[in-house]
Structure 1
Amino acid sequence: MALTPQSSQAFMSEVDDELRRDRLTRFWTRWGLIVGALVVIVLAAFGGYLYWQHHRTQAAAADGEQLQSAYDALAENDTKTADAKLKTLAASNVDAYRALAQFTQADILLQKDDLKGAAARFATIANDASLAKPFRDLALVRQTMAEYDTLKPEAVIARLGGMAVPGNAYFGSAGEMVAIAYLRQNKRAQAGRLFGQIASEKDVPDTLRQRAVQMAGVLGVDAVGQSEDTKTQ
């Protein structure tokens, strides 16, 4: 706490000036170099942080322009140019742009009916621990979609079971695939229950909800009323 002017004067009058100077001299003789070095280190670290922030901002802006340029090339059906730009961005240090570039690469492969190649690209995203979980979860859903016909039902359930729950961002897509996997295992009750949950989920796309209502009905679950209630909420 800072001393008031009055207390400061009282303090100074109690301390011998010569002794005070001697103490200061001994302190700087012993610790001056260390304190000075620490100040230099702190200032250097702060300067480095500011430079890093500036460099990162510039890199992100450049990556954004590169991604937009790739999308523009795709809009003009210039896949060669787009591929070259996306390949560079797929190694970006900016997580969001790296993920978006890799998702776009996978989508291009899907358009070419290269399901195996697309699945491998999605798997790369899903297994990238440096990316945020929503990116990895979406990639796992897309990977499973691409590989669905070649996967055993238990593999689908093991992969997506944790996302096939109401409230999850990818409940609709993951839940539908898990429900169909249950059907392939002849577990009609589990499949019907899950289709019913999808039908009553308000954040699920309408087309997916309609399929869920139909499938739930086939399996003996009346999801029509639930779906109508959800639409009116």
Structure 2
Amino acid sequence: MSELFNEVDEELRRERLRKLWDKYSIFIVGAAVLIVVGVGTWRGYEYYESKKAAEAGAAFAAAADLAEQNKHAEAEAAFDKIAASAPAGYRTLARLRAAAEIAARDPQAAGKRYDEISADRSLAAPFRDLASIRSAGLVLETASYNDLVQRLEPVASGDGAFRHTARELLALSAWRAKNVTATRQWIDKINADAETPGSLRSRADVLQALLPPTAAKS
């Protein structure tokens, strides 16, 4: 008798499963198809992005070779092409390198390129800070101290990796402008930062030695 009940239960389960399948099979099959398509699409995207990155890396290396051969115009064009079409990381690096190539023929134009990069809020802060440093370095001999402050104070006042260089450039600019007070302030910031590189600290000591005696006292 128990075997008969078991067979009936089994038949009822099969019947319920058949009804569920008839009712929901289209959704189950559709979900399975979506999963397969989704995985395939993601794999295709990964392959595409990997291929783009490899191509961009090769193009970047080729452009860098042109720069090493002092073919600045060709290197500039190559970096500009990468900046227009490569993945995000390579685009930013290419923009910085293109500006460096321009500096070989037109420092003023290169400074404008660097300024565009430093003003681009879509970029990570280290890239913007580096662009500010490069721009300030190009105009250090010609720009006013106030101009350098406008360019570099946000970098010098932060805790980024380029703050040390920004402070040194500001100290040099203040010294060129015969602004002893400002020179001393930036030297003090350099010396007060425990992470200031030793070589930069030594240069700050040399600059401080050039200040008038009253300003050089501790």
TM-score by length of 2: 0.76
Contact 2:66 2:75 in 1 (8 A): yes
Is it true that 1:121 corresponds to 2:117 in the alignment?
A: no
**Structure 1 gap segments, 5+ residues each:** 1-12, 223-233
- Partner-residue secondary structure (3-state), 1:16: helix
C-alpha displacement of 1:100: 2.1
Q: Deviations over 1:73-123 (max 9, x none)?
A: 2222333432332221111332232122221211122122x2221122213
Q: Deviations over 1:148-193 (max 9, x none)?
A: 544561x5434433331485311222112344566659571x5424
Match of 1:30 in 2: 23
Is it true that 1:95 corresponds to 2:88 in the alignment?
A: yes
What is the root-mean-square deviation in Å for CA atoms of aligned residues?
Answer: 3.1
C-alpha displacement of 1:129: 3.9
Cα gap change, 1:221/1:212 in structure 2, threshold over 3 Å: closer, same or farther?
Answer: farther
- AA in 2 matched with 1:115: P
Identity across matched positions, percent: 27
Contact 2:72 2:104 in 1 (8 A): no
Is it true that 1:146 corresponds to 2:143 in the alignment?
A: no
User: Matched residues in 2 for 1:117 and 1:36: separation?
Assistant: 60
Is it true that 1:39 corresponds to 2:22 in the alignment?
A: no
User: Matched residues in 1 for 2:36 and 2:119: separation?
Assistant: 38
User: Matched residues in 1 for 2:196 and 2:55: separation?
Assistant: 35
- AA in 2 matched with 1:220: A
Contact 2:56 2:86 in 1 (8 A): no
Contact 1:83 1:105 in 2 (8 A): yes
Q: 2:49 aligns with which of 45, 49, 56?
A: 56
Contact 2:72 2:102 in 1 (8 A): no
Q: Deviations over 1:192-231 (max 9, x none)?
A: 243133246554362x433311333423255xxxxxxxxx
**Structure 2 gap segments, 5+ residues each:** 1-5
TM-score by length of 1: 0.72
- AA in 1 matched with 2:50: T
